């Protein structure tokens, strides 16, 4: 079954008004079904119940009018309608298929070959690039010839332009709002771990929050942890040297990560040689949520009202309830979605993050209190962690057999509905070819066709980017 078109260049009678996607709601996902006659918006809380919502003002630079969310599909079934992936159990790749040949024999189609295949795929295929820096307009290889762009109205690319420092936040917003690309580009704002010192302003976090509130559809990124950042090696000894630099980096990352959670935005994370630190920070965040919930439970037993931890949820009838489950409180401590950008970790790291995510949905015993098991415990939850891969990093910069093998094994460990394609380029003219290269790499690693992988990453990418349109 072919996927329906996700993007149109010209207005049509059944066009969805994406102003409706900007609302402060307790939403895990919003799915749109376009039946050419009427629009249906399916809105659900984390526990699966429906709710009403109010609209926020329109923001032209972070809302692409022609970006459509994927058709309604049950969580975990995203790949079931795509040829090669039909019949896969639990949305997981059957490694026996892909491992039929030696890893060293995996052949990656060229960018031009991938572009031709995707272009010939028809209007049902749109590439989705979930990470790049095209606003910098800096070619990765100066003077090289760029591949022809797909100008056919049935083919285009939806991309996320990620800022790297406060100095280019306005540049990124201007780039995303340009008339030639405002329908296909979303902005992401954040501070990259390479650009923390020495120019980061002390009030950067307040400025970032103000920008994000002004642009409700903007993603948070690129943020992260990087052991090889240049400033780490040159950080003044009087400020703590290398250890002080890493501590500063962790604080800046933690502040932005928590801001993304508080504003209910997806986030794009750069994590290089810091996986253990990242997981430790995730566990600390979870423990803070558990501690907060313990205080709330104790206060309830003592019949005390603790205003600082009380959460008021609105039901469909607008009645207010002072209630919050442990699962809801724990999930609320994290961004709606976390994309591990140009992931260079191992298959073990993938499993560790997925196992951690699973703990967020389990009942936790706290002292003598235990949260009640609800019917919602058995429902499938939207993904928290996604894993992005790019040709520019995972192929061009990982050329040894060891690194290639590690990368392919990591891809095969990722559930199919969490794979993302990233260009990670620094020039507009390279976005399409860079994304096509990422799709080709993922296709080769999973043993499928470029066209099927383009469809899969299209759906996954649109689902990830859609989390920027809904809030708790």
Residue 314's CB is within 10 A of a number of other CB atoms, namely 15
Distance CA 390, CA 119 (A): 19
Tokens matching residue 107:
């052949």
φ/ψ of 7, rounded to 5, equals -145, 140
Query: For residues 335 and 19, which has the higher predicted lDDT (pLDDT)?
Result: 335
3-class state of residue 50 by DSSP: coil
- Is residue 404 predicted with pLDDT exceeding 70? yes
What pLDDT is attached to residue 304? 52
Q: What angle do CA 65, 67, 70 make, to 5 degrees?
A: 145
Give the count of beta carbons closer than 10 Å to the beta carbon of residue 285.
17
Q: Is residue 2 assigned to a domain?
A: no
Please identify which residue in the block is written with the tokens 């609320």.
332
Inter-CA distances, 266 with 95, 269, 465, Å: 30, 10, 7
- For residue 381, tell me if it sits in a domain: yes
Rounded average pLDDT over 181-201 = 96
CATH classification at residue 414: 3.20.20.140
Look at 255-259, 302-306, 403-407, 455-459 and tell me which has the smallest mean pLDDT: 302-306
Would 334 be classed as within a structural domain? yes
d(CA 469, CA 467): 5
Give the integer Cα–Cα distance in Å for 304 and 40: 42
Q: Which of 137, 133, 131, 123 is nearest to 165 (CA)?
A: 133
Task: Judge contact between 188 and 163, C-beta under 8 A.
Answer: yes
Q: Is residue 290 part of a domain?
A: yes
Which tens digits make up the pLDDT trace of 318-335? 333 334 556 665 678 999
Q: Which of 82, 159, 147, 85 is nearest to 116 (CA)?
A: 147
Token pair of 211 as six digits: 């920008």
pTM of the model: 0.78
Rounded CA-CA distance 172/305 in Å is 44
Which residues are bridge partners to 470 per DSSP?
A: 23
Please report, rounded to a whole number, the percentage of residues in the chain having pLDDT higher than 90. 56
**DSSP 8-state assignment for residue 254:** H
End-to-end Cα distance, the chain:
33
Q: 165 near 198, Cβ under 8 Å? A: no
How far apart, in whole angstroms, are the C-alpha atoms of residue 191 and residue 231? Answer: 14
- The pLDDT score that the predictor gives to residue 90 is 53
Residue 1 within a domain:
no
pLDDT of 314 > 50? The answer is no
- Give me 80's structure tokens: 């079931």
Domain region containing 359: 18-138+150-469
Provide Rg for the chain, Cα atoms: 22
Question: How crowded is residue 41: how many other Cβ atoms within 10 Å of its Cβ?
Answer: 14
Residue burial 416-443, b: 16+ Cβ < 10 Å; e: rest? bbbbbbbbbbbbbebbbbbbbbbbbbbb
- Dihedral of the alpha carbons of 270, 77, 93, 128, in degrees to the nearest 10: -40
pLDDT for residue 204: 98
- Residue 33 structure tokens: 């079904």
Per the domain annotation, does 242 fall within a domain? yes
Torsion angle in degrees (nearest 10) through CA of 277, 278, 279, 283: 100
Q: Which residues pair with 267 in a beta bridge?
A: 220, 338
Say yes or no to pLDDT of 13 above 60. no
Angstrom distance (rounded) from CA 377 to CA 48: 10
Residue 12 lies in a domain: no
| Token representation of residue 285 | 């965040």
Torsion angle in degrees (nearest 10) through CA of 85, 87, 91, 93 = -60
pLDDT for residue 383: 95
**SS3 for 203?**
coil
> What pLDDT score does 467 carry?
84
For residue 43, give both structure tokens: 């809105």
Listed range (61-70, 96-105, 284-293) with the worst mean pLDDT: 61-70
The stretch 67-76 carries a mean pLDDT of 39
Q: Lowest mean pLDDT: which of 57-66, 260-269, 314-323, 409-418?
A: 314-323
Q: Is 42 part of any domain?
A: yes
* Number of domains, the chain: 1
Quick check: 281 pLDDT over 60?
A: yes
139 — pLDDT class (breaks 50, 70, 90):
confident
| Confidence band, pLDDT 50/70/90 cuts, at residue 150 | low
**167 compared with 49, residue with greater pLDDT:** 167
Q: Please check the confidence at residue 444 and state whether its pLDDT lies above 90.
A: yes
Write phi, then psi, for 163 (nearest 5 degrees). Answer: -75, 160
Q: At which residue do the structure tokens 């058995």 appear?
A: 378
| Res 232 pLDDT > 50 | yes
**Token pair listed for 295:** 């205080």
Q: 290 pLDDT band (50/70/90 cuts)?
A: confident
* pLDDT for the residue 15: 34
How far apart are alpha carbons 61 and 174 in whole angstroms? 7
Return mean pLDDT, the chain. Answer: 76
């Amino acid at each position: 079954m072919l996927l329906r078109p996700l993007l149109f260049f010209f207005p049509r009678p059944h066009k969805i008004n994406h102003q409706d996607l900007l609302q402060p709601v307790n939403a895990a996902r919003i799915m749109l079904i376009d039946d050419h006659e009427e629009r249906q918006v399916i809105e659900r809380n984390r526990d699966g119940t429906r709710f009403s919502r109010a609209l926020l003002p329109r923001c032209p630079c972070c809302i692409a009018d022609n970006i459509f969310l994927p058709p309604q599909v049950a969580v975990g079934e995203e790949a079931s309608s795509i040829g090669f992936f039909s019949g896969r159990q639990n949305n997981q790749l059957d490694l026996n298929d892909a491992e039929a040949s030696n890893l060293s024999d995996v052949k990656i189609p060229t960018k031009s070959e991938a572009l031709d295949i995707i272009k010939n795929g028809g209007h049902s295929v749109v590439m989705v690039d979930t990470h790049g820096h095209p606003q910098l307009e800096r070619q990765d290889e100066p003077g090289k010839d760029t591949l022809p762009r797909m100008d056919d109205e049935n083919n285009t690319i939806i991309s996320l332009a990620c800022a790297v420092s406060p100095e280019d936040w306005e540049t990124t917003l201007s780039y995303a709002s340009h008339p030639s690309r405002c329908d296909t580009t979303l902005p992401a704002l954040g501070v990259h771990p390479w650009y923390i010192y020495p120019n980061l302003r002390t009030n950067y976090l307040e400025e970032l929050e103000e920008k994000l509130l002004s642009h409700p559809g903007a993603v948070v990124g690129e943020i992260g942890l990087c052991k090889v950042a240049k400033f780490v090696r040159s950080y003044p000894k009087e400020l703590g040297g290398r250890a002080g630099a890493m501590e500063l980096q962790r604080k800046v990352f933690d502040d932005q990560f928590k801001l993304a959670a508080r504003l209910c935005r997806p986030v794009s994370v750069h994590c290089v040689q810091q996986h253990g630190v990242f997981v430790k920070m995730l566990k600390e965040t979870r423990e803070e949520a558990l501690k907060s919930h313990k205080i709330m439970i104790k206060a309830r037993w003592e019949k005390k009202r603790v205003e600082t931890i009380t959460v008021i949820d609105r039901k469909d009838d607008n009645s207010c309830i002072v209630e919050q489950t442990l699962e809801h409180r724990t999930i609320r401590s994290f961004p709606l979605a976390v994309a591990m950008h140009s992931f260079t970790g191992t298959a073990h790291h993938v499993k560790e993050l997925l196992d951690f995510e699973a703990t967020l949905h389990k009942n936790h015993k706290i002292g003598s209190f235990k949260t009640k098991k609800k019917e919602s415990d058995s429902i499938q939850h939207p993904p928290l962690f996604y894993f992005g891969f790019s040709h520019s990093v995972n192929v061009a910069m990982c050329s040894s057999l060891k690194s290639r093998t590690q990368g392919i094994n990591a891809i095969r460990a990722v559930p199919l509905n969490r794979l993302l394609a990233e260009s990670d380029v620094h020039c507009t003219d390279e976005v399409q070819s860079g994304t096509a290269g990422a799709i080709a790499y993922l296709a080769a690693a999973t043993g499928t066709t470029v066209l099927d992988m383009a469809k899969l990453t299209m759906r996954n990418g649109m689902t990830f980017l859609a989390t920027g349109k809904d809030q708790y």
